[in-house]
Structure 1
Amino acid sequence: MRTIYQLFEDAVARHGDTALTIEPDGRRLTYAAAHELTERLAGTLTALGVRPGDRVAAQVEKLPEVIALYLATLRVGAIYLPLNTAYTGSELQYFVEDARPALFVCSPGQEEDLAGRSPDGVSFVSMGPHRTGTLFEREDAPPAPPVAVEPDAPAAILYTSGTTGRSKGAVLTHRNLASNCATLTEAWRYTHDDVLIHALPIFHIHGLFVAVNMSVTTGATMHFLPKLDPQAIVDLMPGSTVLMGVPTFYTRLLRHPDVTAERTQDMRLFVSGSAPLTAETHHEWRARTGHAILERYGMTETGMMCSNPYDGERRAGTVGPPLPGISIRVVERETNTELPAGEVGSIQVAGPNVFREYWNMPEKTAEEFTDDGYFVTGDLGVFDDDGYLSIVGRDKDLIISGGYNIYPKEIEELIDGHPSVRESAVVGVPHPDLGEVPVAVVVPHGAAVDPEEILASIRPRLARFKQPRRVEFADELPRNVMGKIQKAALRQEHAALFQQAPTGPKS
């Protein structure tokens, strides 16, 4: 098995003069230049004391240099740990204490603050645009040779949360990353000739381990946008071939009058994932552009598991059949008995894409796998007679907003700490742009409370995408006979909060 790093070196040998990234200002980073930078950063990591098996954490803005940092980490046999740029200092503290990275790469000016919150033994360096920051002050370090790694050695840790509120570090191996990349490259016909519009973050599976991995291993080019910018995406469509996004990308692009069949005629593939795509968006996109969005299904612990076909019917409301080499079954939750097509059950998956373990959580790891080695996803789904899987719900109260996972327990604990709050429940409600957004239902301590006061109290400790869009008040939270809060009733009660007002007929 060739690792992601080895496949990158293969691409450099074949396509050294090709642009790996093109930034909005026109700056281009070729494969040859990216390889040179990767070699130098690998030497810097080694000079800073990073050894095989060490963790290298990164919380930096989206830059082409971050791709070189990721590849350099793999080159020296260390473990890459990307972190959401929206995480606050108090949130980061948990990740640093749990993963104990040897090196933490942050944005310039943050080193001192982060070091003051962190345990001993963690070194902090910075990385900014145009190769600024303290990480680049050690460029005189001699290049470090590639370290041979076992296929099942850890390559990365991505943190994912559970409803208990404690984040879990999913350990992904070199085999996990390389096998999933190879499967997707074949399934989606991705080649050196592709030009990807990359507007996703690079701290999660979709933006990094799907979009970037597929590009650096094939010699493809990425238009590297710092964030979702519908106008920039529309402007780049002529001459580009692929867009990978979350449903929010497509709902916002559909508002743009220039999204037409003519504008998208050079594009061959539109991919959507990380959250459910509505059938309405699927049909409207096809009517406007002539392209059927390819929806797929994956998660942090598994990479991509299912995909609608490249050739063949892409069915709205489904995530397609399992990808080659990956086994998915839908089972009855209590008995673990596999269910036939048409029956809803718990989704379980096995294959070379499935993560190795949760970092430092052997008991939790054991709980999430069946006796015969299947990972229990926590999602509920149903196969149709043709083998297409539909996701119909979640066992847990996960909220997916704009492609980001939000776990209510974390928000509830902060709200419940407010002196005027007796208890709270956070639920996801439908939103026309983001899919769903968190809403807090609060039971106050008698006297009236200002909703803004509650929101202001949690803002410094919570990433912006996790912050509730509304606070609603209730005298009591609905409960069943066992005393469990009935979140389904709350979701139903507040489902219309963000519905758009009906509009008259178009002229």
Structure 2
Amino acid sequence: MTTQDANLYALLATGFPADRSGCCIETHDGLYYSWDDLEQATGKLANLLAGLKLPAGSRVAVQVEKSPEALFLYLATLRAGLVYLPLNTAYRAAEMDYFIDNARPAVVVCTAANLSWVAPLAEQHGTRKVYTLETDRTGTLLEQAAALPGRYRTVARKPGDLAAILYTSGTTGRSKGAMLTHGNLASNAQVLHKYWGWSRQKRGSDVLLHTLPIFHVHGLFVASHCALLSGSKMIWLPKFEAGEVVRRLPQATVFMGVPTYYVRLLADPDFDRAACRRMRLFISGSAPLLTETFQNFRARSGHTILERYGMSETVMLTSNPYFGKAAEVRHAGTVGLPLPGVRLRVVDDAGQPCGADGIGHIQVQGPNVFAGYWQMPEKTREEFTDDGYFRTGDIGKIDGQGYVSIIGRSKDLIISGGYNVYPKEIESFLDEMPGVDESAVIGVPHPDFGEAVVAVVVPRPGAAPEAQELIRQLKDKIANFKVPKQIHFAPELPRNTMGKVQKNVLRKQYGAAS
């Protein structure tokens, strides 16, 4: 593709098989979509969007449940040269009001169940068209596209043209819209296609078991782009359900998930090496993977999980290697090495480089790094250094071999009595203790120390660890200023849809009690 023809869809289409009659997507309920179906469906939807005569750069906001048609809508938006804006299906009226007001989409697509309150919000903020889309292939979007031609000439785009806006989780203040260009997404798709071995397989020989939501980087961009660019079939499940995944694994070669998925697979008695007999790769991301889960999964399945690191603003940044002896090149507790083309550094508070294993702020630069925050030029400038590195907000370190480890978010850093305390370090000790399933460490206001270290522990089933005993054991392992002043017990930790622990919720819940 030339710099004048850098539409992401055009790149993905170069990977489609020559025989378009083969299966592109197989659904949980036995439907088969061919590659020709994909091209025809995206063509019809692109023609529908093009018929609206929208200005260049117009946004298409989508809040629907996962379905092949929802993926086709994303691809059609790219083909039409418009900007895709996926929204979490859990968002309610106040949140949607903010997103629609902020992004001012020309088109909004929602479920029929939400139409009664989404449509008035959209109309209030100047949206031209509101459509519905259901998982059973009904809705006004498909009805109006049905009679249109399936042929469509994909609109040429430049690498710097906007392809998507992803709103961050907004745990500290209002959500920010990360602007991702065609060039950002294309560069990352091509790197992952090669780095994870898709390019070494015969075109179409891989089968991706897709269980992730598609309003997020992981499921929409990373998983789908890899499969599309390699002409690989996807087994499309509406959500993760351990029993159904175990049943489908023998038909697949690649699986991508969040750590919670792997924990649930290990809890399923039918998950074993036989179920994984065709698999070549398990990938984990979006939240930290416990070393125990990493080790137990390898023992049970015979496969070593490949952990990687990315974010809404950058797509993927680092990855443990695919090639080489997995047990040697994939290191538990790390997110691997910077991907080709990505420059990653760890700096101290003064902006000076940290040495090997020195803990500091992770900053990155590369063709995958986003163009900035939508309608927030000042915030964008704040988040980039003078020499063009993006401040990720993550705290981490790089070891002597170049492997990156994430210690936590800078906003989660605890400063207690003038000392920096990194929650991940304490959590790693707690998680290894008898009776502890998992833990989360937070800082809460304290009159003397500024912040006090507090831990929330989820006991293992049938276990009843005692707070004082856990504290005693910690005092033998770490400096006293790092030891939690209090340990609370909870049946589970609050998580968002991608499995990340919501420490802001824990700070609210336990801050007043400490």
One fold, TM greater than 0.5? yes
Q: 2:310 aligns with which of 266, 284, 298?
A: 298
Structure 2 contact 437–459 (Cα < 8 Å) conserved: no
Structure 2 contact 62–87 (Cα < 8 Å) conserved: yes
Cα deviation code 1:193-223 (max 9, x no counterpart): 1101100000000001100111112211111
Structure 1 contact 295–308 (Cα < 8 Å) conserved: yes
Q: What amino acid does structure 2 have at the position aligned with 1:186?
A: K
Structure 2 contact 16–230 (Cα < 8 Å) conserved: no
Q: 1:177 aligns with which of 160, 185, 209?
A: 185
Determine the structure 2 residue equivalent to 1:496: 457
Once the two structures are superposed, the pairs formed by residues 26-175 of structure 1 within 5 Å of their partners are 26-118=30-122, 119-122=124-127, 123-139=129-145, 140-142=147-149, 144-175=152-183
Determine the structure 2 residue equivalent to 1:377: 392
| Whole-angstrom distance in 2 between the partners of 1:435 and 1:502 | 12
Q: 1:210 aligns with which of 203, 222, 226?
A: 222
Cα deviation code 1:207-247 (max 9, x no counterpart): 01100111112211111000011111101111210110000
Cα 1:20/1:395, change in 2 over 3 Å: same
Identical-pair percentage = 48
| Whole-angstrom distance in 1 between the partners of 2:196 and 2:7 | 20
Structure 2 contact 50–80 (Cα < 8 Å) conserved: yes
Structure 2 contact 437–457 (Cα < 8 Å) conserved: no
Cα deviation code 1:270-327 (max 9, x no counterpart): 0000000000000000011111000000011011100000123100000011011111
Q: What amino acid does structure 2 have at the position aligned with 1:262?
A: A
Cα deviation for residue 108 of structure 1 reads 1.8
| Whole-angstrom distance in 2 between the partners of 1:112 and 1:433 | 46
Cα deviation for residue 49 of structure 1 reads 4.0
Segment of structure 1 superposing worse, 318-327 or 17-26: 17-26
Cα 1:83/1:162, change in 2 over 3 Å: closer
Cα deviation code 1:353-396 (max 9, x no counterpart): 10001000000000000001000011111111111111112101
Cα deviation for residue 162 of structure 1 reads 4.3
| Whole-angstrom distance in 1 between the partners of 2:263 and 2:171 | 28
Determine the structure 2 residue equivalent to 1:266: 278
Determine the structure 2 residue equivalent to 1:279: 291
| Whole-angstrom distance in 2 between the partners of 1:230 and 1:83 | 25
Cα deviation for residue 75 of structure 1 reads 0.6
Determine the structure 1 residue equivalent to 2:23: 19
Q: What amino acid does structure 2 have at the position aligned with 1:365?
A: T
Structure 1 contact 57–101 (Cα < 8 Å) conserved: yes
Aligned residues: 431
Cα 1:217/1:50, change in 2 over 3 Å: farther
Q: 1:354 aligns with which of 360, 366, 369?
A: 369
Determine the structure 1 residue equivalent to 2:331: 315
Cα deviation for residue 11 of structure 1 reads 3.2
Q: What amino acid does structure 2 have at the position aligned with 1:496?
A: V
Cα deviation for residue 129 of structure 1 reads 2.4
Cα 1:111/1:177, change in 2 over 3 Å: same
Unpaired runs of 5+ residues, structure 1, are 399-428, 442-476
Cα 1:38/1:247, change in 2 over 3 Å: same
Determine the structure 1 residue equivalent to 2:408: 393
Structure 1 contact 52–76 (Cα < 8 Å) conserved: no
| Whole-angstrom distance in 1 between the partners of 2:62 and 2:95 | 14
Report the 3-state secondary structure (helix = DSSP H, G, I; strand = E; otherwise coil) of the residue aligned with 1:164.
coil
| Whole-angstrom distance in 2 between the partners of 1:65 and 1:146 | 18
| Whole-angstrom distance in 1 between the partners of 2:107 and 2:439 | 36
Structure 2 contact 197–323 (Cα < 8 Å) conserved: no
Determine the structure 2 residue equivalent to 1:328: 344
Cα 1:13/1:286, change in 2 over 3 Å: closer
What's the TM-score, normalizing by structure 1? 0.80
Cα 1:163/1:233, change in 2 over 3 Å: closer
Segment of structure 1 superposing worse, 253-262 or 80-89: 253-262
Once the two structures are superposed, the pairs formed by residues 333-482 of structure 1 within 5 Å of their partners are 333=349, 335-397=350-412, 478-479=445-446
Cα deviation for residue 260 of structure 1 reads 1.4
Structure 1 contact 18–219 (Cα < 8 Å) conserved: no
Cα deviation code 1:26-67 (max 9, x no counterpart): 101111111000000001112234343100011001000111
Cα deviation for residue 15 of structure 1 reads 4.1
Once the two structures are superposed, the pairs formed by residues 231-246 of structure 1 within 5 Å of their partners are 231-246=243-258
Structure 2 contact 436–459 (Cα < 8 Å) conserved: no
Determine the structure 2 residue equivalent to 1:196: 208
Structure 2 contact 348–360 (Cα < 8 Å) conserved: yes
Structure 1 contact 197–244 (Cα < 8 Å) conserved: yes
Cα deviation for residue 116 of structure 1 reads 1.8
| Whole-angstrom distance in 2 between the partners of 1:262 and 1:365 | 49
| Whole-angstrom distance in 1 between the partners of 2:347 and 2:440 | 29
Cα 1:436/1:72, change in 2 over 3 Å: farther
| Whole-angstrom distance in 1 between the partners of 2:7 and 2:266 | 38
Determine the structure 2 residue equivalent to 1:288: 300
Q: CA RMSD in A?
A: 2.5
| Whole-angstrom distance in 2 between the partners of 1:366 and 1:386 | 32
Structure 2 contact 7–79 (Cα < 8 Å) conserved: no
Structure 1 contact 12–32 (Cα < 8 Å) conserved: no
Cα deviation for residue 8 of structure 1 reads 3.1
| Whole-angstrom distance in 2 between the partners of 1:268 and 1:395 | 35
Q: What amino acid does structure 2 have at the position aligned with 1:87?
A: Y
Cα deviation for residue 397 of structure 1 reads 3.6
Structure 2 contact 21–36 (Cα < 8 Å) conserved: yes
Unpaired runs of 5+ residues, structure 2, are 414-429, 465-514
Cα 1:167/1:291, change in 2 over 3 Å: same
